[in-house]
């Protein structure tokens, strides 16, 4: 069965650089702090099958967010994909130069109601690389250079 999903761009230009909804923006800022790298790409992946990368906890369906956090400028372009579980579970990383997708050991060990296999993870990354028009890529960094 073909994997169905769409990408929702979350960043827009605001008064003080980028802005996005509070929850994904807060998550992305924490990840940025963990990586010690700025980001200017933040996008949500909506899977048509809402069991994908979710769990059932005591009968409750989790509502994890699935977020691309990345950065592009004239020197570098990379994407990381995250599940907003606990402090953040990285699914994988890819660099535009070779587009090879590397999954994280944490993702490989994780369990979800429905998990993406490595080929499906790759498909989602390649879609984003192939459709730059769907994510706004900014030249303003977070944190902003004051």
Partner 1 sequence: MQTSLKFKIINHMTMENKGNLQFHGRPSLFATWVTIRTGFTFNRLVTLEFEDPMILQKRLRNGVTDYYPVILAEQTEDDLMLSFWVAQGHLGLLVALQYQSKPDAFDIADSYQDVISDRKLTKTEIKEIFECIFANPSVLYPVELGVGTEAEDDTQKTPA
Structure tokens at 35: 């990586």
- In a 10 Å sphere around its CB, with 0-12 CB exposed, 13-18 middle and 19+ buried, how is residue 129 labelled? middle
Q: Does the footprint of partner 1 cover residue 102 (CB under 8 A)?
A: yes
Is 89:28 a contact under the CB 8 Å cutoff?
no
Binding-site size for partner 1 (CB under 8 A) equals 18
Of 17-25, 43-51, 53-61, 98-106, the segment contacting partner 1 by CB under 8 A is: 98-106
CB of 60 to partner 1, least distance (A): 26
Q: Does the footprint of partner 1 cover residue 99 (CB under 8 A)?
A: no
Q: Where would I find the H helices in 43-117?
A: 105-109
Q: Does the footprint of partner 1 cover residue 54 (CB under 8 A)?
A: no
Is 33:55 a contact under the CB 8 Å cutoff?
no
Kindly list the residues in this chain that would bind partner 1 in the complex (CB under 8 A): 34-38, 76, 78, 80, 90, 92-93, 95, 97, 102, 104-106, 143
């Amino acid at each position: 069965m073909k994997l169905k999903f769409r990408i929702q761009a979350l960043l827009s230009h605001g008064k003080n650089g980028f802005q996005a909804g509070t929850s994904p923006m807060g998550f992305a800022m924490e990840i940025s702090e963990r990586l010690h790298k700025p980001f200017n790409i933040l996008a949500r992946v909506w899977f048509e099958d809402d069991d994908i990368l979710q769990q059932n906890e005591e009968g409750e369906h989790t509502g994890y967010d699935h977020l691309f956090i990345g950065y592009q400028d004239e020197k570098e372009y990379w994407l990381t994909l995250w599940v907003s579980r606990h402090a953040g579970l990285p699914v994988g990383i890819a660099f535009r130069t070779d587009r090879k997708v590397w999954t994280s050991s944490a993702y490989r060990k994780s369990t979800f109601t429905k998990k993406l296999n490595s080929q499906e993870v790759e498909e989602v990354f390649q879609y984003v690389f192939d459709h730059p028009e769907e994510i706004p890529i900014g030249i303003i960094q977070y944190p902003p250079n004051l």
